[in-house]
Amino acid sequence: MVALVQRVAEAAVDVDGTTVGAIDDGLLVFLGVHEDDTEAESDWCASKCANLRVFPDADGRMDESLLDTGGDALVVPQFTLYGDVSRGHRPSFDAAASPDRAERLYDHFVDLLEDHLGKDVPTGRFGAMMDVRLTNDGPVTLWVERRADD
């Protein structure tokens, strides 16, 4: 499982011109599910995202997490994170989980993140064409990945 995590001042996701999820200060998480992923990878990634110390403390150092700041998270499904462009010019998505499996693990990730944060986590819509708007803060962008064989 991979989470492309961006610290944002604001972010929103629209489907068919309607905003389906939005946050102010917090983390925008693009989540990709690998074909070999299980709930164990989902558990690890949700905990890691909730506890990432990427927000400034009183001294300006990145030393606080969403749990410390009370910030929000917005999670957007992103199967293209497992696009392989090593051959040719068209990405192959063979490593991405099937839609049914991916949606189940995506939902599991969101549920766990809500448990960690103690509040609802807005999301994009699985399988939909989405427009994502964000103001990256910093910018701070991290690649958080846990593979089933780790």
Active site residues: 78-80
**What CA–CA distance (Å, rounded) separates 59 from 46?**
27
Which ranges of the chain would DSSP assign to H, the alpha helix? Answer: 39-51, 66-69, 99-117
- State the Rg of the chain over Cα: 15
